[in-house]
Amino acid sequence: MRVRAKFLAVVIVLGLSIQASATYTVDILGESNGSGMTSSIEVAPGDRFSGFVNLSAATATQSDSAIIRLVFDNPGLIYNSNWFAWSSPYTTGGIDDFSVPDSTGSGVIDVNTFTDGLAPTDIDIRFENLTDNFGDFFETGTLISFELTVPASTLPGSSYTISPVPDTFTDGASFVDAVAGDSLTVNVIPEPATSVMACVLSIAVLARRKR
């Protein structure tokens, strides 16, 4: 309601019609074990990874409100308290942060974590915020950073895909177009100790055969 009220107030005061302005591309990138930001990462069961909602644009683009869904192909990733942070000038957990689940929550992402009226069967979360002060804008770069954990019970060889679904961005009284870019693929790999043990066993078997 606050977002709509803000739009209406700006339109009345300025006498402007709401029109689309510029275009964002929304990418979901990840980082694990010093990999740097990339669209495909490797994570062992029980380990955490960092994710990023990145905005890019071919021309100068800015926004003062954002609504984005992240859609998961499989349930099960775990979030804990303080699991995400908005970049300035947005405020994480402030009165205008309507994200679901909120930044202080903890739980497992599944079909019940957030329910979108137009896609009720999606496994998703929703980030929604607007800047606290009129005239403050975000341009491009990392809009949101988040941290999730792969369940310890996840089998190596499994994967999770996190895809962006842009909903609404505004620049004052104008809407900003946004399109989905890269999704993030989280590939689950064996624990390092498990890999080393498998290598040792293989060497031992080969040595025994040579005898």
Question: Is residue 10's pLDDT more than 80?
Answer: no
| CA 134 – CA 164 distance, rounded (Å) | 27
Q: Is the pLDDT of residue 190 over 80?
A: yes
- Reduce the DSSP state of residue 25 to 3 states and report it: strand
Per-residue pLDDT tens over the stretch 122-131: 999 999 999 9
In a domain, 124, yes or no: yes
- As for how many domains the chain has, the answer is 1
What is the per-residue pLDDT for 157? 97
**3-state secondary structure string across 40-67:** EEEECCCCEEEEEEEEECCCCCCECEEE
> Looking at residue 68, which CATH number applies to its domain?
2.60.40.680
Could you give the CA distance from residue 36 to residue 17 in angstroms, rounded to a whole number? 42
- How does pLDDT run across 140-188, given as a tens digit for each residue? 999 999 999 999 999 999 999 999 999 999 999 999 999 999 999 999 9
Q: Region 10-18: what's the mean pLDDT?
A: 39
Residue 9 has pLDDT above 50, yes or no: no
4 falls within a domain: no
Q: Is 60 exceeded by the pLDDT of residue 206?
A: no
Confidence check: pLDDT of 15 > 50:
no
Question: Could you tell me if residue 5 is inside a domain?
Answer: no
- Measured CA to CA in angstroms, residue 60 lies from 21, 32, 55, 67, 168 at distances of 10, 31, 12, 20, 18
pLDDT at 21: 57
pLDDT at residue number 210: 52
H or E element at residue 209 = helix 192-210
Residue 110 pLDDT > 90? yes
Q: How far apart are CA 78 and CA 149, in angstroms?
A: 5
Residue 11 belongs to some domain of the structure = no
In a domain, 42, yes or no: yes
CA angle 5, 9, 15 (to 5 degrees): 140
Query: Structural domain of residue 139, as residue ranges?
Result: 19-210
Q: Tell me the C-alpha distance between 203 and 184, whole Å.
A: 35
Residue 95 resides in a domain: yes
- Tell me whether residue 10 is in a domain: no
Q: What's the mean pLDDT in 109-116?
A: 97
Contact 188, 44 (CB under 8 A): yes
Q: Read off φ and ψ for residue 29, nearest 5 degrees.
A: -120, 165
35-92 pLDDT, tens digit each = 789 999 999 999 999 999 999 999 999 999 999 999 999 999 999 999 999 999 999 9
Across 107-116, b (16+ Cβ under 10 Å) vs e yields: eebeeebbee
- The torsion angles phi and psi of 171, rounded to 5 degrees, stand at -125, 90
For residue 107, CA distances in Å to 78, 110, 112, 148, 155 come to: 6, 9, 11, 10, 20
Q: Say what percent of the chain tops pLDDT 90.
A: 76
Determine, yes or no, domain membership for 3: no
